[in-house]
Every structure is written in C-alpha cells, then in structure tokens.
Amino acid sequence: MASTPKVIMEIVNKEKAANHAVAERLRLQHHPSMRAITKFFTENVRGAKIEFLGPLPNGSTVMRILANTKELTQEGKLLKAHVEINLSGKELMEYVQKKEFYQGLATLKLNQYTGYIAEQHIMNFALQGVLHDKMFFKVGGRATAQSFKSFSGKTILKDKVWAIQNKSGHGVDFLCEVIPTPPPPRWITLDAKATLRGGFTDHGTPKGPSLSDEQKDPFTNLLKHLKDATSDFRGLNRYNLTPEQFKEFRKIIKEIGNNPLELKGYVANVGLIEGFNLAENKKYSTMIVCNEIK
C-alpha cells in the first residue's frame, strides 16, 4: 500500500494503558494473551479520506470512510458521511491491488449500512406501537400524505412484527400482523429501501433502490423464507427462530397458503439525511413512504 503510517499503537490488556479505551472499543481486551501491533494508515482518494486500522486479532481491518462527495448520492447533492467497514483480508487486498475497490465495495457497503439504519428506524417505531402513524402512503404534488392507519384503517400490532432474515441477510425485511380483520389483509410485508441525501425539498418524496425480482412477488418470497426458516429450525437455524416464532410461522404458512388475499406487500422508502437521521418535510412528518407492490 502506498500509504504512510501515521500512528503505531501497541494494544495491551491493561486498564491504565494509554490505548485501553481503543482496545475496549475494538474488543481487543478479550484477547488477554495477545499483544497486537495495530497500525493506523491514512489514504486520500477522490472525494474522500480513507483510514485503515489493523490488523485486528481476528485478521480483519477497520476501514473508515470520511466522505465529502457528490458521487455517493443519486441526485448529485453534496453528502457528508462517516462509515466504518470491517474488511476481511481478501477485501483489503482488493483495495491494495486496484483503487476501483473504493468506488465499488465502499459504495456498496455504504448502501448496505444506510439500508440497515432504515430498517432500525422502522423496527423502533414498530416496537413502540406507532409505525402505522409514522409510515405514510406516497402522494404527489403538494398534498399532505395520509398515514398508513388513516389510509387503510388498520393498525400494526407491536408484538407481531418480525424480521425474517437468515445469517446472510437474505429474506423479508418485515412481516407484520394488522388489525382489524376482516377485511383482509391480516398480514403485510415491508421491504425497506433507503435514500440518503443532504436534504429533501418541502414536498419531495424519497425514491430508494429498485426491488429485486424476488421482492416483486411478496407472496412467493414470504412463503419461501417462512418455509426455509421453519424447516431449518431444528437444524442450523439460520434464521435464528425462537420456539414461539417457529409455531407462529407454521400457522402463518397455512393461513396465507389457503388464502393469499390475507397478505399484502409494500415497499417502504425511507428518507435519511446527514447523520443518518430520519428526514421529514411538509408532505411527510416522518419520511417513511410506502407503496403497495403490485
């Protein structure tokens, strides 16, 4: 690597050591028999400064991206962001060998991170029992959007919201039970899509990445992952199901299998601004904007 070491830190498992706080933050204190010589590098690339901290005891390296660039936004607006990525040795070598790595992997990781933050905003509202008031249906022009509850007449049960994802992160972002029923649906899925901008106009609407082919068919996609999750429960349990979830999901498979109208799928476009905070404007008091997947 063409970088020049800026700092060399010797991490030791001693509370009075100068680097103990760093060791604690990186969980290095859990390796009492190890003296890890961790180096800190800085490299400047177009639109960003990249910092490397490693190698860590598990062989990985932390890459921090301090971005100030127009290239990371779909609309060409200036975005400032600070993202930390944990790189495997292979990924680090790809960066060393060709600089296109930053434009590719780093942007991909940033998109993954913003998607994760968007999911956290949705889940937090769901657990508080207010997601149906914080999520709005898309509306054009200068009209004020209606909340999910106002538009559909349904509320989302806070103890009936699940993220159905395996250890690789594949699956259905959210499955929620809604009431009252009838009328259908009893169940809805939400696929979260994040848009990160420097800011939104007073009447702007977030537009996230496109749905995958699987997500375009929410009924088939949900059934697939519910069946995969329940069939794997007594094996590797890659979806990390609890016994209660296993029983619940088997009931849902039977219910929507017998009556597909009991399920409706939505995409939830989440608008984020600097600091990965949830955006708002005159149209959407919280920028979680849903559309039915048809």
pTM score of the predicted model: 0.68
Q: What pLDDT shows up at residue 32? A: 44
If we measure between CA atoms, which residue out of 266, 272, 260 comes closest to residue 174?
266
Would you give the end-to-end CA distance of the chain in angstroms? 49
Condensed to tens digits (0 to 9), the pLDDT of residues 90-120 reads: 666 665 555 555 555 556 666 777 888 899 8
For residue 200, pLDDT beyond 50: yes
Condensed to tens digits (0 to 9), the pLDDT of residues 238-281 reads: 999 999 999 999 999 999 999 999 999 999 999 998 777 899 99
Q: What six digits make up the tokens of 58?
A: 């598990």
Residue 62 to residues 47, 92, 159, Cα–Cα distance (Å): 19, 10, 36
Q: What pLDDT shows up at residue 180? A: 97
Between residues 126 and 107, the one the model is more confident about: 126
| pLDDT (average), residues 16-44 | 52
Q: Give the residue carrying structure tokens 């029983």.
A: 247
What percent of the chain is predicted at pLDDT more than 70?
A: 67
The span from the CA of 190 to the CA of 277, in Å, is 20
> Which one-letter amino acid corresponds to residue 59?
G
Q: What pLDDT shows up at residue 143? A: 93
Lowest mean pLDDT among 6-15, 131-140, 185-194: 6-15
Mean pLDDT computed over every residue of the chain: 79
Torsion sign (Cα): 282, 285, 288, 290:
negative
Question: Could you tell me the pLDDT band of residue 11, with boundaries at 50, 70 and 90?
Answer: very low
Q: What pLDDT shows up at residue 10? A: 40
Quick one: which H or E segment has residue 143?
Answer: none
The span from the CA of 19 to the CA of 8, in Å, is 11
Q: What six digits make up the tokens of 3?
A: 């970088």
**Radius of gyration (Cα) for the chain, nearest Å?**
22
Q: What pLDDT shows up at residue 168? A: 78
Let me know if 148 is exposed, middle or buried by CB neighbors in 10 A (0-12, 13-18, 19+): buried
| pLDDT (average), residues 226-235 | 96
> Which one-letter amino acid corresponds to residue 224?
K
CB 263 within 8 A of CB 253: no
Condensed to tens digits (0 to 9), the pLDDT of residues 79-91 reads: 455 666 676 766 6
Q: What pLDDT shows up at residue 77? A: 46
